[in-house]
Structure 1
Amino acid sequence: MAQGTKTEEGQRQELRTAEEFTGGPEMTLIEHLIELRRRVIISALAVVVGIVICAVFWEDILGWLLAPARERNPDFQVSSFSPTDRIAILFRIALYGGLLVASPVVVYEILAFVVPGLTPRERRLVLPVLFGSAFFLLGGMAFAYWVILPASLGFLLDFGSENIRNVIGIRQYVDFVTRIVFWVGVSFELPMLMMFLSRLGVVTAGKMLGLWRYALVAVFVVAAVVTPTPDPLTQSLVAGPLFVLYFVGVVLAWMARPRTREEDFGI
């Protein structure tokens, strides 16, 4: 009898522990699958709505993509080299734009499914990491659009002989712009990556600070890969902010370092 009472008490304790971590009663596997299906359906609907919206306004979005080149040359135009180019670029703009428009909903649904399974300490890190990642990504994309693209397009469009006329395909141009904006945005996530590695104990902030000379070489290599132009000006426009972000990452890595029990209690 005493053994049965102890077993029941242990089960109640496990249930209380599960409720503490998840914020509610522990869900069964079937309930988890039903919840996952609901989150996936909502995310898919958000993507479809985003694609439809961007398909309706695809010419306005195309004009926005052409703006950096037209700052350099107001008469800049792109060409269609096949009967399918226009419809292909419509679908491409609708898809890329739809994913971007729907991304807040998709991220929310992912977090709504994952966060209840985290510990209270892990939950406190979710919002800072989420907002930090979004800040650096959007900041990098904005920097690429308003600074990198005008500089690189200005160099590329003016480079060469006067006997060669620029005839640029619409597909090639859109791929060029989206690739630059995306990869510069991703490269600006460097501080978050450094913070994550420090949190895992892979490397310390002090070690990162001591490797700053190697980091300087590395950011110029990354800039050479990300930027399409060989001129040092455009590469420096990417490498300079990345080098500054490296030191921002050192600070974040120090703040996110694994603490001892004495540090946690302020000793």
Structure 2
Amino acid sequence: MAAEPVNEPIQLRPDQQPFHEGEMTLLEHLRELRTRVLICAVAVVLGMLLCVVFWETIVGWLIAPARAEIPDFRLTVFSPTETIALMFKIGMYGGLMLASPVVLYEILAFIVPGLTPRERKLVLPGTIGVVGFLIAGMAFAYWIILPASLGFLLNFGGDNFDQKIGVKQYFDFAIRIIFWVGVSFELPMVLTLLAKLRVVRAKQLLGFWRYAIVIIFIVAAIVTPTPDPLTQSLVAGPLLGLYVLGIGLAWVVQPKRPKPEAAP
């Protein structure tokens, strides 16, 4: 009788081996996690304090697009505590934004030792991409989308209305646009991650373009609070370009399919 074949263990290439420099116990992992969470908390608190100190300057930046349309634009306070609440809101959002690079670094520093060498090479470009697209989206919202939205809304109705806009309503409006447009600009990074995880392939994303256009315009309609198609198109246009960029990045990072062996 022929000997049964022995199942040999699968040998991984050096670039597929996980990083095991100094094995850590569960307790050591928990201590490291506690330290990194503490660093993130300190970074957030320092960022919040910095934004609270300069909160009036930040308020001026956020009101500037409205004053470009109406030079004597002023907000209305409806409660004695409304300006204090605004100060803390600016501190919270601003602190999270300033601390986000530190938080992202601490998260990656915690998980990178468990990645393979090939995966670790993608960490730095991925981090730069996430932060870069977020900043680009927020800048685009501040310089393009917010002035266009305010130009439509503040002048709608002409001189028939004396607009009294509250502090809370205005800043909720501005922060919503800046934040969600910044998040929507992460579309290429999301597509790249899905391709890396083998969820989708670049060819599938390319064939999905008709549905992608519809979904992008729906997202643009949700992000922009104005009903006019011009403002929605200002958001949808860059997102369509980012979708194409995401297809290209997905094609670069997607795992290559093994070539079928020739039949004997």
TM-score normalised by the chain length of structure 1: 0.87
Deviations 1:193-231 (A, max 9, x none): 111222222222112112222222221111111101011
Q: Does 1:114 align with 2:111?
A: yes
- 1:246-265 map, 5 Å: 246-260=243-257
4+ long deviations beyond 4 Å: none
Letter of the 1:142 partner, please give it.
A
- 1:60-209 map, 5 Å: 60-160=57-157, 162-209=159-206
Question: Structure 1 residue aligned with 2:27, among 23, 30, 49?
Answer: 30
Q: Which range moved further: 115-124 or 232-241?
A: 115-124
Shift of 1:161: 5.0
- Rounded to whole Å, the distance in 2 between the matches of 1:190 and 1:207 is 16
Deviations 1:19-71 (A, max 9, x none): x7345210111111111111111111111111111111000010011111111
Normalized per residue, the structure richer in helix is 1
Deviations 1:106-143 (A, max 9, x none): 11111111111212122111112111111111111110
Q: Does 1:50 align with 2:47?
A: yes
Conserved 8 A contact 2:224-2:232: yes
- RMSD of the TM alignment (CA)? 1.6
Q: Give the aligned partner of residue 245 of structure 1.
A: 242
- Rounded to whole Å, the distance in 2 between the matches of 1:253 and 1:139 is 20
- Rounded to whole Å, the distance in 1 between the matches of 2:137 and 2:237 is 12
Paired residue total: 244
> Any unmatched runs of 5+ in structure 1?
1-16, 263-267
SS at match of 1:21: coil
SS at match of 1:166: coil
- Rounded to whole Å, the distance in 1 between the matches of 2:41 and 2:51 is 15
- Rounded to whole Å, the distance in 1 between the matches of 2:251 and 2:98 is 34
Conserved 8 A contact 2:101-2:131: no
TM-score normalised by the chain length of structure 2: 0.88
Q: Give the aligned partner of residue 41 of structure 1.
A: 38
- Rounded to whole Å, the distance in 2 between the matches of 1:25 and 1:211 is 45
- Rounded to whole Å, the distance in 2 between the matches of 1:222 and 1:26 is 45
SS at match of 1:197: helix
> Any unmatched runs of 5+ in structure 2?
1-13, 260-264
SS at match of 2:80: coil
- Rounded to whole Å, the distance in 2 between the matches of 1:135 and 1:47 is 20
Shift of 1:152: 0.3
Q: Give the aligned partner of residue 236 of structure 1.
A: 233
Percent identity of paired positions between Structure 1 and Structure 2: 62
- Rounded to whole Å, the distance in 1 between the matches of 2:191 and 2:21 is 34
Deviations 1:74-122 (A, max 9, x none): 1111111111101100100011111111111111111111111212122
- CA 1:71 to 1:23, structure 2 compared with 1: closer, same or farther past 3 Å? farther
